[in-house]
Structure 1
Amino acid sequence: MEGSVLPSTVSRAELIDFEGISMVHYFTDNWENIQNFQARPEDILIATYPKAGTTWVSNTLDLLYFGKTDQERQSSLPIYLRVPFLEMAFPGMPLGVELADKLPTTPRLIKTHLPVQLVPKSFWEQNCRVVYVARNAKDTAVSFFHFDRMNMSQPDPGDWNTFLMKFMDGKMVFGPWYDHVCGYWEKKQTYSNMHYMFFEQMAKDTGREVAHLCSFLGLSTPVEERERITEAVHFDVMKQNNMTNFTGVSFLDFKISPFMRKGKVGDWKTHFTVAQNEQFDEHYRQKMKSTTLQFQTEI
């Protein structure tokens, strides 16, 4: 699928209040079909707040399951066709629900950014495995800012300070970061089929995290194969790979910023002023005071 795969009829959307969280219509237009999606017991749901390493983990799982048996798909199918984005409803592009429904693979790998309370019930009813990836709030905010600058379907981010205030207020597509990461963390306490991962740990020791994934998924992937996958999902390798870097999606303006920008832990330090950092830390303490969930902002 070379060249542009989407018409440029996609334009910046306004935030709407939807089921108690901020959304844009591209993710709610097909809502009834999303909520009625029929998961199968072998499906694997990859859930994240935006910019938390979704593509990283999607690609890792795709390689773990199909890297040896179907190498063709790695070099010919973009990641968004191999791992459909469930709630996606962009004009001129197949609906995420339809792509997921028609996936020929077993297991079906499906991604979502929906907060835990909006995930289609069938995933829980079928006891599907869920892989959740969380990233520290500061790096997520920076990454989301640059993403919104280049993604013409998202609300205009404004300048960095304006955006940071919106992030702290939870006026973001898919709602507040705080509620999202804590919601899945709480769910994990009662739902045993969830693997909760941290972006920072993935960056620090990808091989170890891949081994943990294999353990959770019940895969006996040989060490050499795991090492090969670890190399293949290195950030710089994926950034150069047109099947994983979202090249060809016409509403992403790569002249403003790459889709895969840095993939670093601690890049927030190049954006936050001392005053912003102090304000953010104080707000963060309030928001996160009643959870056991903890993050690293540097490694």
Structure 2
Amino acid sequence: MSICFVCHESFSFFLLLFKKISRAELFDFHGNVQNFQARPDDILIATYPKAGTTWVSYILDLLYFGQTERQTSTPIFDRVAFLESTISPMGPGKDLADNLPTSPRLIKTHLPVQFVPKSFWEQNSTIIYVARNAKDNMVSYFHFDRMTRTQPEPGEWSSYIHRFMEGKMVFGSWYDHVNGWWKKKQTHSKLHYMFYEDLSEDTGREIDNLCSFLGLSRSDEEKKRVASGVQFDNMKKDDTTNYSTHCAMDFKISPFMRKGKVGDWKNHFTVAQSQQCDEDYEKKMKNSTLQFRTEI
């Protein structure tokens, strides 16, 4: 199997070869999903990896389609197409997106904004971007890299921190990703920029904001039902949302949905590591108007 990802240095595309036993390897590969044909009613969920992608995907799935038989029998990764992936029982994400039976189609991506297929902009599709503070994002990504064969070996935590800060990750620099999408928000009116921390602090409020942005009329009862259904503990126990049926995940190492907490970074960073990340953050974000919370 193979999957297209993006590197930091040149943002050229990589071919990630997925092997049944060994880990994935990265190779320079100039193939992409640029010819994907978006539709005006598509909803693209964009995030840096491990920033609440599945959470918001499930919220949108419930808001639009409710708790139907499809929701209880089909895994979320087959209901929401991962555009640049081919590691799915249903085939390449691009093909899955093309054949989604729903309207709107829910599609997710981890691509930096400059590599999103141009048809999404041409069709003026709706885009939901979710951002998560760098420290918690780093911790979650580290544990994900430990348990999935779709990623290179993460190595030791101490070295992983430096690699993350340097942007030597499969989807590139966290800094470039969150800032690139934030800048696009200023010119694309159909882009809703969300924060993981806000969603964690008050899920109901953020669902209200989503409904308002999307022009959805849902009763208070319906929205409360959605908010209850997407609570972390409920999703973690649900085999259709917790990725336990995905062929590339090793739950013996770590669950796909681990803690979902804001501030869990404190259990991983030493004082020195935290200070180093803070200094790196201040330097790289000094010209950005983006503001993140590392605790709530």
Q: Could you state the TM-score of these two structures normalised by the residue count of structure 2?
A: 0.92
Q: What pairs up with 1:96-111 in 2 under 5 angstroms?
A: 96-111=93-108
Unmatched tracts of structure 2, length 5 or more:
18-27
One-letter amino acid of the structure 1 residue matched with residue 35 of structure 2: N
Check whether the contact 2:12–2:30 (CA below 8 A) recurs between aligned residues. no
How far, CA to CA, are the matches of 1:64 and 1:200 in structure 2?
21
Query: Could you tell me which residue of structure 2 aligns to residue 41 of structure 1?
Result: 40
Q: 1:274 aligns with which of 262, 271, 275?
A: 271
How far, CA to CA, are the matches of 1:43 and 1:212 in structure 2?
19
Check whether the contact 1:137–1:177 (CA below 8 A) recurs between aligned residues. yes
Higher mean C-alpha displacement, 249-258 vs 175-184: 249-258
Provide the identity percentage: 62
One-letter amino acid of the structure 1 residue matched with residue 253 of structure 2: I
How far, CA to CA, are the matches of 1:80 and 1:216 in structure 2?
24
Provide the alpha-carbon RMSD of the alignment.
2.0
Report the alpha carbon displacement of residue 92 of structure 1 after superposing the two structures with TM: 6.4
How far, CA to CA, are the matches of 1:219 and 1:248 in structure 2?
32
One-letter amino acid of the structure 1 residue matched with residue 15 of structure 2: H
Label 1:26 to 1:73 Cα distance change in 2 as closer, same or farther (>3 A).
farther
Paired residues, what number? 285
One-letter amino acid of the structure 2 residue matched with residue 36 of structure 1: N
Q: Residue 140 of structure 1: SS of its match in structure 2?
A: helix
Check whether the contact 2:6–2:111 (CA below 8 A) recurs between aligned residues. no
Label 1:220 to 1:17 Cα distance change in 2 as closer, same or farther (>3 A).
closer
Q: Could you state the TM-score of these two structures normalised by the residue count of structure 1?
A: 0.91
Report the alpha carbon displacement of residue 152 of structure 1 after superposing the two structures with TM: 1.1
How far, CA to CA, are the matches of 1:93 and 1:29 in structure 2?
23
**1:217 partnered with 2:175:** no
Q: 1:287 aligns with which of 279, 284, 296?
A: 284
Check whether the contact 1:55–1:244 (CA below 8 A) recurs between aligned residues. yes
Report the alpha carbon displacement of residue 201 of structure 1 after superposing the two structures with TM: 0.4
Label 1:285 to 1:98 Cα distance change in 2 as closer, same or farther (>3 A).
same
Query: Could you tell me which residue of structure 1 aligns to residue 71 of structure 2?
Result: 74
Query: Could you tell me which residue of structure 1 aligns to residue 127 of structure 2?
Result: 130
Check whether the contact 1:23–1:175 (CA below 8 A) recurs between aligned residues. no
Report the alpha carbon displacement of residue 132 of structure 1 after superposing the two structures with TM: 0.2
Runs ≥4 residues deviating over 3 A: 15-19, 26-32
Report the alpha carbon displacement of residue 251 of structure 1 after superposing the two structures with TM: 1.8
One-letter amino acid of the structure 1 residue matched with residue 31 of structure 2: W
Report the alpha carbon displacement of residue 90 of structure 1 after superposing the two structures with TM: 2.8
Q: Residue 91 of structure 2: SS of its match in structure 1?
A: coil
Check whether the contact 1:26–1:90 (CA below 8 A) recurs between aligned residues. no
Query: Could you tell me which residue of structure 1 aligns to residue 179 of structure 2?
Result: 182
One-letter amino acid of the structure 2 residue matched with residue 208 of structure 1: R
Report the alpha carbon displacement of residue 209 of structure 1 after superposing the two structures with TM: 0.3
Check whether the contact 1:202–1:209 (CA below 8 A) recurs between aligned residues. yes
Check whether the contact 1:35–1:119 (CA below 8 A) recurs between aligned residues. yes
Label 1:210 to 1:49 Cα distance change in 2 as closer, same or farther (>3 A).
same
Check whether the contact 1:30–1:89 (CA below 8 A) recurs between aligned residues. no
Q: Residue 294 of structure 1: SS of its match in structure 2?
A: coil
Check whether the contact 1:48–1:112 (CA below 8 A) recurs between aligned residues. yes
Label 1:284 to 1:223 Cα distance change in 2 as closer, same or farther (>3 A).
same
Q: Residue 186 of structure 2: SS of its match in structure 1?
A: helix
Q: Residue 275 of structure 2: SS of its match in structure 1?
A: helix
Higher relative contact order (CA 8 A, sep 6+): 1
**1:141 partnered with 2:138:** yes
